[in-house]
Structure 1
Amino acid sequence: MAEVATSATSEQLLVVVDPVARRSDGESVRIAKDVLGAGAGMKLCLPDGPEEFARALARRGSRRPVVVGDDRALIRAVALLHRHRELAGCALSVVPVGGALSLARSLGVPTGPVAAARAVLDGVERRMDLMVDDSDGVVLGALRIPPLRPSQAAGAGPEAAPDPDDVPGRPWLRTCQSLVRTLVPPGRPSRPAAAPEPGPSRLRVEVDGETLVDLHQPVEAVSVSPVASGVASVEVRPVSVGAEASPLLARGRTVTVSGAHFRYRADTVVSGPVRTRTWVVQEGAWGLTVPAGSEPAGS
């Protein structure tokens, strides 16, 4: 991943503080604002929701955007800039604040407010690969299609457990339960148990047009993540019978998954169900400011 050594101190910053960060950790937000304000010209935006967040980014002008928030705020900013085709000319910075920070950490961003704010001021731009799907969704880190869980799909029925009313020696329990039932307002429907939703079972996974696994072979899980310039690593775990089945591995630029309706997790966002989806790796599609000399986790 290429790094561009550009000083940030002479730039004007647009600091957009995600509302979730303000509610969850106001002290870290204050520290980040103090460090950034002491080192650069800064315009502060405190949006109340996603629409104001989007408007703030759209009106940034020549200011470099700095997102103060968690992984979801970072993903939202990248998705907005991608949607407006502004990622190529915009170096994004982030000060991670909140509960979900694993993505920012994996990209090489410090998770402490002081260190992250200093990286914004003194760091370098690293160009990152981006996976873009055929609905214009983006994936910064990893894509997962969850495992098949047949035990969840075959939940126990109402007769699976013995009825405590019929247990000998506890006639008082039947009386209490009858009393409770009389206190429920008439006509009020009982809440049905949520039906468990199984994961994918039979999927076709194609990498650069070559079939890695087809519909006749059930799979437990699929994972896709960028690993090199313009290339994603794909791992398919077949359903094992007896001994554990070896994963199927491939690398390529384009990954298509199709078959039964499936859900997928792109970074922190769960989407679907869909019957088919294609992801394409765009090399160096977006820039993120990181500390000079740092490396993303796992590199």
Structure 2
Amino acid sequence: MAEVATSRTFSATSDQLLVVVDPVARRADGESVRIAKDVIGAGAAGTKVCLPDGPEEFARALARRGSRRPVVVGDDRALVRAVELLHRQRELAACALSLVPVGGAVALARSLGVPTGAVAAARAVLEGAERRMDLLVDDSDGVVLGTLRIPPLGGATSVREAGAGMSGPWRRTCRSLVRTLVPAARPPGTVSALEAGPARLRVEVDGETLVDLGQPVEGVTVVPGASGRARVEVRPASVGAEASPLSVEGGTVTVSGAHFRYRADAVVSGPVRTRTWVVREGAWGLVLPAR
């Protein structure tokens, strides 16, 4: 994950804070949520805590934060949701985001350098330093903080889990999506699209074709690299001897071909026929422990 120079260092009295506690985190580990609120509240007198019941209230809380610095208490999905919302509001560049990881899916947070213990993460909120990081933005305004994968490893499970903590229309929508991705019953010997074998995709990096439709591939991985460039790896399908991965760096990545799904961080999207991702250098800031 690319980083640029630290732009700001915070102290307990430098900002008023808005602590947004994701509902999934409250159910998954209420004790860690309580510890995080206590530590942050004791260190910053101007702290406001918001307990949204679902994605719509989560979005409203961020939109109405005013001059408060946002702190998300939740898992990787909550972090990605916050970054995407701020990006779509065109407020990401001016916002330093903090995270206290709570929940089962915190691998992305760990890879970004966020402490996974509630006390350590809460102290970083109060006394950490903002680090600007590169971001992948696609042509539908979606974002990728960590890793993009085609096909989406563990995609079916992730889509099911995406409905956790939702109610009413949100849960019904998620269940409908799951039914389209994972049919309830399949004839013996068949597989779902998420479990299918090698795909035929065209992968272009900065306008140059890395692999075309005639070469089946086992998978494509894209990760924000350094200085506005992404690391792209294509694993060709092999027959007999193992084929070597194809690796390249670039600022724009386009994948096209038959309908495909992709996993961006913790979220599975698609199917789509084509999608383009562009690297935005230093597009978002995350408060991490000061070095």
Give the alignment's TM-score, normalised by structure 1.
0.82
Q: Does 1:115 align with 2:120?
A: yes
Give the one of 2, 8, 12 matched to 1:9: 12
Structure 2 gap ranges (5+): 154-183
Structure 1 residue aligned with 2:235: 237
Report the CA distance shift for 1:229/1:25 in structure 2 as closer, same or farther (over 3 A): same
Q: Contact 1:70–1:98 at 8 Å: present in 2 too?
A: yes
Query: Per-residue CA shift, 1:116-167, capped at 9, x if unaligned?
Result: 000000000000100000010000000000289xxxxxxxxxxxxxxxxxxx
Structure 1 residue aligned with 2:283: 285
Letter in 2 for 1:223: T
Structure 2 residue aligned with 1:100: 105
Report the CA distance shift for 1:82/1:30 in structure 2 as closer, same or farther (over 3 A): same
Q: How does 1:33-112 map to 2 (within 5 A)?
A: 33-40=37-44, 41-112=46-117
Letter in 1 for 2:35: I
1:80 and 1:8 map into 2 onto residues whose CA distance is: 26
Query: Per-residue CA shift, 1:250-276, capped at 9, x if unaligned?
Result: 100000000111110000101111110
Q: Runs of 4 or more off by more than 6 Å in structure 1?
A: none
Q: Contact 1:146–1:200 at 8 Å: present in 2 too?
A: no
Structure 2 residue aligned with 1:32: 36
- SS of match in other structure, 1:234: strand
Give the aligned length.
251
Letter in 2 for 1:30: R
Q: Does 1:193 align with 2:186?
A: yes
Letter in 2 for 1:88: A
Q: Contact 1:200–1:262 at 8 Å: present in 2 too?
A: no
Report the CA distance shift for 1:207/1:6 in structure 2 as closer, same or farther (over 3 A): same
Report the CA distance shift for 1:203/1:60 in structure 2 as closer, same or farther (over 3 A): same
Structure 1 residue aligned with 2:175: none
Give the one of 20, 25, 35 matched to 1:21: 25
1:53 and 1:114 map into 2 onto residues whose CA distance is: 23
- SS of match in other structure, 1:111: coil
Structure 1 gap ranges (5+): 149-190, 294-299
Letter in 2 for 1:193: R
Q: How does 1:72-221 map to 2 (within 5 A)?
A: 72-146=77-151, 192-193=185-186, 196=191, 197=193, 198=196, 201-221=199-219
- Quote the offset at 1:13 in angstroms: 0.3
Structure 2 residue aligned with 1:170: none
Q: Contact 1:147–1:220 at 8 Å: present in 2 too?
A: no
- Quote the offset at 1:200 in angstroms: 5.3
Report the aligned-residue RMSD. 1.4
Letter in 2 for 1:56: A
Q: Contact 2:152–2:261 at 8 Å: present in 1 too?
A: no
- Quote the offset at 1:114 in angstroms: 0.2
- SS of match in other structure, 2:199: coil
Report the CA distance shift for 1:135/1:147 in structure 2 as closer, same or farther (over 3 A): closer
> Which has the higher Rg, Structure 1 or Structure 2?
1
2:9 and 2:69 map into 1 onto residues whose CA distance is: 12
- Quote the offset at 1:8 in angstroms: 3.4
